[in-house]
């Protein structure tokens, strides 16, 4: 008498359990991956909203058309200060569209030297917040230069503007030469 048929009786159950385990693990893996993708997409969305809020802060600052001398006067000797306090993008205090603050400062060139008197740095920081909790932030920085076209040519060169030679003759878009009136020179 052979015991072979009795030995095969539980093999189908073992194979079925193994297949259920593999399919279950694959399903759990897919669920975890999709959950992570949703979290990543939410983080990206919040980062973009914070970036847009920072851009809105920069646009708000530039809309005020403040010159370098006005910023330095408002600084009252400070190295930098907050010129636009925490402001919601859409005007609602508890918004999900972001908030921004804008700060100005007078430091520094890449070599560490202070900026010239006609320049200042603007830092706009956008954020997504709910109460005191901050979910995302983004910063935009720019160096703003006030240029006074009424200055003499020598002074303009000191500001990094066009030289006398470049001002005397500039090429137009079609290659024609456009003459510019001679500017008064400062006495030496």
Of 99-108, 113-122, 154-163, 173-182, give the lowest mean pLDDT range.
Answer: 173-182
The CB density around residue 91, as the number of other CB atoms within 10 Å, is: 8
Q: Over the stretch 47-98, which tens digit does the pLDDT of each residue have?
A: 999 999 999 999 999 998 888 888 888 888 888 899 999 888 887 766 777 8
Handedness of CA 160, 161, 167, 172 (dihedral sign): positive
- Which residues 6+ apart lie within 8 Å of 165 measured at CB? none
For range 127-141, the mean pLDDT: 88
Identify the DSSP state of 55.
H
Of 9-13, 44-48, 131-135, 159-163, give the lowest mean pLDDT range.
Answer: 159-163
CA-angle at 162, arms to 121 and 140, nearest 5°? 20
pLDDT, averaged across the chain:
77
Q: Over the stretch 95-126, which tens digit does the pLDDT of each residue have?
A: 777 899 999 988 877 777 788 888 889 999 99
**pLDDT confidence of 7, banded at 50, 70, 90?**
low
For range 154-179, the mean pLDDT: 45
The CB density around residue 102, as the number of other CB atoms within 10 Å, is: 25
What is the rounded distance in angstroms from the CA atom of residue 66 to the CA atom of residue 105? 13
What is the rounded distance in angstroms from the CA atom of residue 33 to the CA atom of residue 107? 46
- Say whether pLDDT at 41 is over 80: yes
What pLDDT score does 163 carry?
A: 46
What pLDDT score does 12 carry?
A: 83
What pLDDT score does 126 carry?
A: 94
Handedness of CA 151, 152, 153, 159 (dihedral sign): negative
> Domain residues of the chain, as ranges?
7-146, 149-188
What is the rounded distance in angstroms from the CA atom of residue 56 to the CA atom of residue 98? 10
């Amino acid at each position: 008498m052979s015991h072979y048929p009795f030995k095969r009786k539980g093999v189908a159950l073992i194979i079925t359990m193994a297949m259920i385990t593999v399919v279950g693990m694959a399903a759990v893996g897919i669920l975890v991956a999709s959950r992570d993708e949703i979290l990543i997409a939410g983080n990206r969305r919040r980062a973009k909203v914070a970036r847009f809020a920072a851009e809105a802060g920069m646009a708000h600052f530039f809309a005020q058309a403040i010159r370098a001398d006005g910023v330095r006067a408002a600084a009252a000797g400070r190295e930098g200060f907050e010129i636009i306090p925490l402001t919601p993008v859409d005007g609602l205090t508890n918004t999900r569209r972001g908030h921004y603050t804008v700060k100005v400062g007078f430091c520094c060139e890449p070599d560490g030297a202070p900026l010239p008197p006609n320049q200042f740095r603007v830092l706009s920081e956008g954020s997504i917040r709910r109460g005191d909790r901050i979910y995302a932030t983004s910063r935009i920085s720019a160096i703003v230069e006030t240029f006074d076209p009424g200055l003499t040519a020598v002074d303009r060169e000191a500001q990094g503007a066009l030289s006398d030679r470049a001002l005397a003759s500039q090429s137009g878009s079609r290659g024609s030469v456009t003459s510019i009136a001679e500017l008064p020179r400062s006495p030496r």
